[in-house]
Structure 1
Amino acid sequence: MIQVTVTLEDDILDFLDRQAQGNRSSYINALLAEHRRRILEAEMIAALKQDAEDPEYQAEISAWDSVVGDGINAEG
């Protein structure tokens, strides 16, 4: 774990102290982890939408779909 120093406005620090219930680091880590999760989720959804709208990608998927049921068994 790395320690960092940040500068907060007084009213933000007051809010943090009220919400953190004595553990600022844990509260901030939880907030940032949730924010990161939401951003990654939004990026993934955007990438999936882009793939869904890409005719070349869809053609490639279609080509792979045609061989999925060809009887090849990876387990031997």
Structure 2
Amino acid sequence: MQKVTISLEDDILRFVDRQAKGNRSAYINDLLAEHRRRILEAQMITALQQDAKDPEYQAAISAWDSVAGDGINASE
């Protein structure tokens, strides 16, 4: 963890204090972690949607799918 200094508007700080229940850092960390998770999830969904529309990618996946069940066992 690193300690940082930030500036908040008075009404935002009052809100944080009401929600944080005594631990501003944990509350802000939790908020930012959830925000980051949502952004990453949206980025992943966008990437998967783009892959689904990409005929070259779909052809490559199809080629790999045809060899995935070829009976070769990598652990042996």
Q: Normalization by structure 1: what TM-score? A: 0.95
Match of 1:55 in 2: 55
User: Quick check: 1:44 aligned with 2:44?
Assistant: yes
Deviation at 1:75, TM superposition (A): 2.1
Aligned length: 76
* Equivalent in the alignment of 1:33: 33
Show CA shifts across 1:12-45 (max 9, x none): 1111111111110000000000000110111011
Q: Which runs of 4+ in 1 moved over 2 A?
A: none
Consecutive unaligned residues in structure 1, runs of 5 or more: none
Corresponding residue of 2:68: 68
Q: Structure 2: which 5+ runs fail to align? A: none
Give the TM-score taking structure 2 as reference length: 0.95
Q: Aligned-pair distance for 1:72?
A: 1.1
User: What is the aligned-residue RMSD (CA, Å)?
Assistant: 0.7
The higher-RCO structure (CA 8 Å, 6+ apart) is: 2
SS state at 2:46 partner: helix
